[in-house]
């Protein structure tokens, strides 16, 4: 992942002098042209073109002069993005026919479910560890060694272990794997496993089929929102990755919710999935190494910071409302002042918590020096940056020499 960022930084060309103004009338229409490694197909069960990951993963260049699409000037209805609205998946545990999906439960829910069938809580812990720990990652009752026979029989009749079906894996020259999963309803999602030569391998998971945000550099956004993923469908992406690829890429230590979809638009299932991932008796991901990325849904962002211990990333991509309104239409509802002000306020009550800002450089749109001029942004900037880490008083970029102040 960092190698892509370095290539992106090297390819970025900034004009020698600041450009006096940016008008959205002159902004070009973006065309999808991802600068990502080419993938060869392996373990293929069916040949299907890959869906491109969400806005956090697409780096585009635009033609020098073309007018924005007429559709971009349409009025957007963001009423569904208020807290508590727009959730098309219920909070109840999803069932597959007459069977319950085990990976849709937290440990507390699993323990209660096991007890409701007449078994001890200790059986629930043994089952939990075989699903998520002990290098087993069980997908079937046959893999539940050491469990009571009657308990295993009950599980085979009442429970389902798998929420996803493997469709295809493609491998890039740098070792990155792109995985296609089929859902029970026939829809398809994408997961990416990104190895690192320093021992930190990351799995990038999807949270929705499609996306409603319509960010102009995101191919997934062109699909629109088909549906939210359940907690089980999100968790199983990480389980599948560990089960299939640990022997090839080493331990998978990090999770980023930067695949298909806007995670905080599916906040109930995302928070639940993240809680399962960081459980100390299960997958045992560190909360600091599970990062949820958002385009800036402010009410859900506040709820996430109150309820989850996991890390947060904000897809910024512009330093003025004028540009961000066009690049990311959600900014028309939640302006930069509101977004950054909310972050500033929420971080006053959190200690040693940093937020990652993601900034995709789009040629001729948000890469000009005027985009980083103090008069046009909400902070004082010492030098140009691509990615930044946010704390209550300072932003520091770990990948480039950056220091940004003014958030106290």
What's the whole-number mean pLDDT along residues 230-245? 95
- Nearest CA to 357 out of 331, 323, 326, 396 is that of 396
- pLDDT of amino acid 82: 61
C-alpha pair distances (Å), 90 with each of 66, 110, 219: 43, 18, 27
Strand partners, 380: 405
- Give tens-digit pLDDT for 295-304: 999 999 999 9
- Enumerate the domain spans of the chain: 2-91+164-405, 95-160
- pLDDT of amino acid 257: 98
- pLDDT of amino acid 33: 33
At residue 245, what are phi and psi to the nearest 5 degrees?
A: -120, -5
- Nearest CA to 215 out of 308, 143, 297, 153 is that of 297
Give the end-to-end CA distance of the chain in Å, rounded to a whole number.
Answer: 31
- The structure's pTM equals 0.75
At residue 81 the predicted structure's pLDDT band, cuts being 50, 70 and 90, is low
In angstroms and rounded to an integer, the radius of gyration of the C-alpha atoms of the chain is 22
Of residues 111 and 381, the one with the higher pLDDT is 111
What's the whole-number mean pLDDT along residues 303-309? 96
Q: What percentage of the chain reaches a pLDDT higher than 90?
A: 54
- pLDDT of amino acid 369: 72
Mean pLDDT for all residues in the chain: 76
CATH classification code of 2-91+164-405: 3.20.20.70
pLDDT at 403 over 60: no
| Joined tokens for residue 302 | 């506040």
> 253 with 200: CB under 8 angstroms?
yes
The two domains 2-91+164-405 and 95-160 share their CATH topology (first three levels equal): no
pLDDT at 375 over 70: no
Matching residue, tokens 């299932």? 269
Fold category of 95-160 in CATH = DNA polymerase; domain 1 (1.10.150)
Q: Which of 192-196, 198-202, 263-267, 296-300 has the lowest mean pLDDT?
A: 198-202
Most confident among 6-10, 32-36, 83-87, 191-195 (mean pLDDT):
191-195
Phi-psi region of 134 (alpha: psi -120 to 50; beta: other; left: phi over 0): left
What's the whole-number mean pLDDT along residues 203-220? 95
The C-alpha atoms of residue 261 and residue 293 are separated, in whole angstroms, by 10
> 208 with 227: CB under 8 angstroms?
yes
The C-alpha atoms of residue 217 and residue 227 are separated, in whole angstroms, by 21
């Amino acid at each position: 992942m960092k190698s892509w960022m370095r290539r992106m930084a090297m390819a970025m060309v900034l004009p020698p002098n600041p450009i006096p103004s940016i008008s959205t009338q002159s902004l070009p229409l973006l065309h999808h042209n991802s600068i990502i490694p080419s993938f060869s197909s392996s373990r293929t069960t069916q040949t299907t073109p890959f869906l491109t990951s969400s806005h956090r993963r697409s780096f585009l260049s635009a033609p020098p002069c073309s007018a924005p699409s007429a559709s971009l000037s349409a009025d957007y209805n963001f009423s569904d993005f208020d807290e508590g609205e727009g959730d098309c998946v219920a909070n109840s545990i999803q069932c597959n026919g007459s069977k319950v999906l085990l990976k849709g439960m937290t440990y507390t829910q699993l323990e209660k479910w096991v007890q409701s069938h007449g078994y001890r809580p200790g059986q629930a812990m043994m089952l939990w560890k075989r699903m998520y720990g002990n290098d087993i990652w069980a997908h079937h009752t046959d893999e539940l060694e050491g469990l009571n026979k009657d308990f295993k029989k009950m599980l085979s009749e009442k429970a389902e272990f798998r929420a996803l079906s493997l469709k295809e894996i493609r491998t890039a020259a740098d070792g990155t794997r792109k995985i296609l999963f089929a859902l029970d309803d026939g829809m398809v999602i994408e997961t990416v496993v990104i190895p690192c030569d320093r021992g930190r391998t990351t799995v990038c998971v999807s949270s929705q089929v499609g996306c409603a945000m319509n960010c102009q550099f995101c191919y997934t956004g062109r699909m629109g929102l088909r549906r939210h993923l359940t907690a089980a469908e999100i968790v199983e992406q990480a389980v599948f990755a560990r089960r299939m690829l640990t022997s090839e890429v080493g331990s998978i230590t990090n999770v980023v919710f930067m695949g298909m979809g806007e995670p905080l638009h599916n906040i109930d299932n995302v928070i639940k999935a993240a809680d399962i991932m960081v459980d100390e008796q299960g997958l045992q991901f560190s909360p600091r190494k599970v990062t949820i990325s958002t385009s800036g849904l402010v009410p859900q962002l506040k709820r996430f910071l109150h309820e989850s211990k996991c890390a947060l990333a904000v897809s910024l991509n512009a330093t003025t409302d004028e540009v961000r309104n066009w690049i990311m239409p959600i900014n028309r509802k939640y302006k930069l002042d509101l977004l950054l002000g909310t972050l500033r306020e929420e971080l006053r009550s959190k200690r040693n918590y940093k937020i990652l800002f993601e900034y995709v450089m789009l040629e001729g749109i948000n890469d000009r020096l005027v985009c980083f001029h103090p008069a046009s942004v909400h902070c004082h900037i010492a030098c140009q940056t691509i990615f930044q880490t946010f704390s209550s008083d300072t932003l520091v970029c770990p990948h480039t020499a950056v220091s940004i102040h003014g958030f106290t």
